[in-house]
């Protein structure tokens, strides 16, 4: 899965363009808004509107056209930062300028005048900056402007935008006076006259209003606030005495350290260069290159002989984490995935000197964001949650958190990093929004219904409902009937790993499975599929946090309880396939994939029934049934159509995905499930729910199941 740290995008002029429209709104079409400044009583079409959005100058002398629509309303900025709103023959200049290069909310409202003759004023024009009125005038538009098109940033104006909104009403000052950064719909809905809400801050430009107007952008840039570590390395010492991961005599105490790092693609990497991320005594987390300039990430503790290096790429943000269990195992994660687990006896850190980056850096400039330090050994699931944006400061074991967004402060202790020789400072890393991001990574174009909840969603739901998501399985649970058999099987898969690492991997998997099982046993249906007979129809529902949503209906068909049960099980397995590929899909799309299998329902019921024995553990039954369903899909040559249905509309290269899906499912079937545990390690929640559904097999069996069994 593609993840990123905290960042935002902007619409901006294309570099080097002499005549360029930064953003074209709604192509050459018009909006249902009268921008002329003149109300037409014969058509009951008053000229009333509000336009506004967040803009930033690229320099303190930046000037140009901010916005223009139909040649009627134009907002410009001069080189001193004074804004002027021109409505027909009227020009209204701001009394105060925008003299800096910070983000500001700019808005213009126009309210028509309904004064009877002999009054000549047509309306009230008001100009706002950051919610404050900076110009206001009762005006008389005698010559409306003429033209066509709606644009932001005309003629390569050196301005950036993160949102722009159009309303068909003059919003009151209390709404304008409370702008929310970047949100083009804040405080208003279609009922308030919201016409268009163009969002540029979250990747590819789009209109968030119900009208979904088209928008084209000449260029966009990602802005990632972060700490720049200057070329040659730098040191930012951690001042708090509370922050001493692993410190003290004897065996170091448990700890975790995690965050984001970015190594630019240019200039080219040098051989044997070092990019320190965190140092504390003889513990070092770092990226480095070898003699061939190949970049890797890892850690050293206590000597270089303990370094585990995992290849990483330049030009992209990488999430890293190292955890120590306080006994004998250190685990290193990259992008939420365990890269290594080493059994070692490290030297105690008796003279701590914790610091971000480190003075032994020998490489070019690089960037850090979101570094947190913990007095506990985080699980893989927790590492994943904090990578996805959970707030570390809400956990009592977080002893330091350096967001590195606006300053060098620690939000836990209130201290600031002590930077040596100005070698580190807060900046914004600017990178282009690429064509490949035309649809956000892992998001389909159209979900066609509720998004299929992922493992992290379900873990969060479990936590809200009082289910323990952190405590590892006890030895008694591991030896219990539900887990012992699957544990033996898992041991065989991980035999090549160090014993401690293998045990942790197994516990992560089984704990997630326990969460899924407990969700269902508590009656929490979020993330599940259920069926019912309504009149003469069989109806399937996918359950979200907001409630059930219909995703499946067989009109005029009443399925037997066993057929309903089998389709529910098949839904679980197809969801598992989606999870294995990390595909964000929808309940309705999974149901369509299940629908492809309806002609094979008898064969599938037989395969499910024959897959396991009554003596198998619950999780072993789930594993065997998953393989049986996959095997049926494969043997019936339905792999292509099933996978295609799940991923249709995705940003993925469909041919590439389907090719790999076929090879993977073939490998799964051939290996008797040896790969499934590795692929669905983080999907244990769904497997736990499958366990629950398998336990609900109708008894006594319906006639077709009895026939299949015989």
Ordered mean pLDDT values, 10 residues apiece, the chain (710 residues): 76 54 69 88 80 94 92 94 95 94 94 69 91 92 88 85 93 84 82 89 87 86 92 83 73 89 89 88 85 86 65 89 86 81 72 78 86 89 82 90 93 90 91 61 46 74 85 81 71 63 71 83 86 88 85 84 88 76 70 82 85 77 82 77 65 48 59 49 71 76 43
Of the candidates 149, 167, 130, the residue with the CA atom closest to the CA atom of residue 54? 130
Task: Provide Rg for the chain, Cα atoms.
Answer: 30
- What is the number of alpha carbons within 13 Å of residue 315 lying toward its C-beta? 8
Q: Are 339 and 310 in contact (CB under 8 A)?
A: yes
Question: According to the model, what pLDDT value does residue 671 have?
Answer: 54
Question: According to the model, what pLDDT value does residue 405 have?
Answer: 92
Separation CA 292–CA 294 (nearest Å): 6
Work out the angle at residue 448's Cα, subtended by the Cα atoms of residues 442 and 450, and round it to the nearest 5 degrees.
80
- Count of C-beta atoms within a 10 Å radius of residue 190: 14
Separation CA 370–CA 663 (nearest Å): 38
- What is the number of alpha carbons within 13 Å of residue 248 lying toward its C-beta? 13
Question: According to the model, what pLDDT value does residue 48 have?
Answer: 93
Q: In what order do the strands lie in the sheet with 529-534?
A: 529-534, 537-544, 547-554
Name residue 57's beta-bridge partners: 159
Q: How far is CA 281 from CA 98, 249, 252, 301, 426, in A?
A: 48, 13, 12, 9, 25
Q: What is the three-class DSSP state of 472?
A: coil
Separation CA 511–CA 494 (nearest Å): 17
Question: According to the model, what pLDDT value does residue 2 have?
Answer: 45
Separation CA 381–CA 378 (nearest Å): 8
Q: Are 534 and 554 in contact (CB under 8 A)?
A: no
- What is the number of alpha carbons within 13 Å of residue 38 lying toward its C-beta? 15
- Count of C-beta atoms within a 10 Å radius of residue 544: 19
Separation CA 104–CA 384 (nearest Å): 35
416 class by beta-carbon count within 10 Å (0-12 exposed, 13-18 middle, 19+ buried): middle
> What is the residue whose two structure tokens read 């069989």?
538
Tokens of 133: 């009125």
Question: According to the model, what pLDDT value does residue 445 have?
Answer: 38
**Phi (first) and psi of residue 278, to 5 degrees:** -150, 140
Question: According to the model, what pLDDT value does residue 661 have?
Answer: 60
Please count the helices (runs of H) and the strands (runs of E) in the chain.
15, 33
pTM of the model: 0.65
Separation CA 690–CA 687 (nearest Å): 5
Give pairs for 404-409: CB < 8 Å, separation 24+.
404/225, 404/226, 404/227, 404/368, 404/369, 404/370, 404/371, 405/6, 405/225, 405/226, 405/369, 406/225, 408/227, 408/236
DSSP 8-state symbol, 211: T
| Beta-strand pair 355-357/295-300 | unpaired
Separation CA 710–CA 708 (nearest Å): 5
Question: According to the model, what pLDDT value does residue 175 have?
Answer: 83
DSSP 8-state symbol, 631: H
Dihedral sign (CA 625, 629, 632, 634): negative
Question: According to the model, what pLDDT value does residue 263 have?
Answer: 93
Contacts of 655 (CB under 8 A, 6+ apart): none
Separation CA 91–CA 595 (nearest Å): 62
DSSP 8-state symbol, 108: E
- State the DSSP string of 327-362: SSEEEEEETTEEEEEEE--PPPB-S---EEE-TT--
Question: According to the model, what pLDDT value does residue 336 have?
Answer: 79
Separation CA 475–CA 478 (nearest Å): 5
């Amino acid at each position: 899965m593609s993840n990123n740290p905290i960042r935002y995008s902007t619409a901006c002029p294309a570099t080097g363009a002499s005549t360029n429209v930064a953003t074209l709104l709604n192509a050459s079409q018009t909006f249902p808004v009268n921008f002329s400044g003149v109300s037409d009583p014969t058509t009951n079409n008053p000229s009333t509107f509000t336009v506004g959005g967040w803009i930033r100058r690229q320099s303190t002398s930046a000037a140009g056209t901010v916005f223009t629509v139909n040649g009627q309303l134009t907002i410009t900025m001069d080189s001193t930062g004074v804004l002027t709103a021109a409505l027909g023959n009227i020009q209204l200049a701001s009394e105060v300028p925008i003299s800096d290069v910070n983000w500001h909310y700019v808005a213009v409202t126009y309210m028509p005048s309904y004064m009877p003759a002999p009054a000549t004023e047509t309306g009230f024009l008001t100009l706002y900056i950051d919610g404050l009125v900076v110009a206001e005038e009762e005006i008389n538009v005698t010559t409306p402007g003429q033209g066509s098109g709606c644009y932001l940033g005309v003629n390569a104006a050196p301005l950036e935008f993160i949102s722009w909104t159009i309303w068909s009403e003059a919003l009151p000052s209390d709404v304008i006076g409370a702008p929310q950064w970047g949100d083009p719909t804040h405080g208003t809905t279609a009922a308030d006259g919201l016409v268009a809400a163009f969002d540029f801050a979250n990747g590819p430009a789009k209109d968030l209003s119900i009208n979904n107007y088209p928008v084209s952008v000449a260029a966009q840039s990602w802005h990632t606030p972060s700490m720049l570590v200057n070329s040659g390395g730098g040191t930012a010492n951690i001042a708090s005495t509370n922050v001493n991961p692993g410190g003290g005599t004897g065996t170091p105490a448990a700890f975790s350290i995690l965050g984001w790092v970015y190594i630019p693609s240019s200039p080219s990497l040098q051989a044997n260069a070092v990019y320190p991320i965190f140092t504390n005594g003889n513990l070092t987390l770092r990226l480095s290159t070898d003699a061939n300039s190949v970049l890797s990430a890892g850690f050293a503790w206590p000597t270089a002989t303990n370094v585990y290096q995992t290849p990483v790429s330049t030009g992209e943000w990488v999430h890293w984490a190292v955890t120590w269990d306080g006994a004998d195992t250190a685990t290193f994660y990259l992008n939420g995935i365990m890269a290594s687990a080493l059994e070692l006896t490290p030297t105690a850190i008796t003279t701590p000197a914790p610091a971000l980056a480190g003075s032994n850096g020998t490489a070019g400039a690089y960037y850090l964001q979101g570094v947190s330090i913990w007095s506990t050994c985080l699980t893989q699931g927790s590492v994943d949650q904090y990578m996805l944006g959970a707030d570390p400061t809400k956990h009592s074991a977080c002893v330091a958190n350096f967001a590195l967004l606006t300053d060098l402060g620690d939000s836990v202790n209130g201290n600031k990093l002590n930077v040596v020789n100005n070698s580190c400072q807060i900046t914004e890393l600017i990178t282009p929004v690429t064509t490949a991001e035309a649809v956000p990574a892992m998001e389909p174009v159209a979900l066609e219904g509720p998004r299929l909840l992922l493992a992290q969603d379900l873990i969060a739901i479990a936590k809200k409902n009082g289910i323990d998501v952190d405590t590892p399985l006890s030895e008694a649970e591991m030896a219990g009937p539900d887990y012992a058999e699957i544990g033996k099987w898992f041991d065989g898969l991980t035999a090549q790993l160090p014993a401690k690492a293998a045990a942790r991997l197994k516990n992560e998997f089984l704990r997630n499975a326990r969460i899924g099982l407990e969700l269902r046993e508590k009656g929490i249906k979020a993330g599940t599929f259920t069926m019912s007979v309504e009149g003469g129809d069989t109806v399937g529902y996918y359950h979200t946090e907001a409630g059930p949503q219909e995703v499946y209906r067989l009109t005029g068909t009443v399925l037997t309880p066993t057929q309903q049960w089998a389709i529910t099980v098949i839904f679980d397995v197809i969801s598992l396939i989606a999870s294995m590929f990390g595909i964000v899909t929808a309940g309705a799309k999974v149901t369509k994939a299940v629908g492809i299998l309806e002609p094979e329902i008898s064969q599938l019921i037989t395969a499910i029934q024959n897959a396991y024995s009554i003596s198998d553990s619950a999780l072993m039954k789930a594993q065997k049934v998953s393989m049986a369903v996959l095997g049926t899909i494969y043997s019936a040559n339905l792999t292509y159509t099933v996978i295609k249905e799940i991923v249709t509309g995705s940003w993925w290269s469909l041919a590439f995905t389907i090719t790999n899906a076929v090879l993977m499912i073939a490998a799964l079937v051939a290996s008797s499930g040896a790969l499934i545990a590795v692929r669905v390690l983080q999907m244990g929640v769904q497997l736990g729910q499958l366990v629950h559904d398998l336990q609900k097999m109708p008894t006594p069996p319906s006639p077709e199941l009895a026939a299949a069994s015989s």
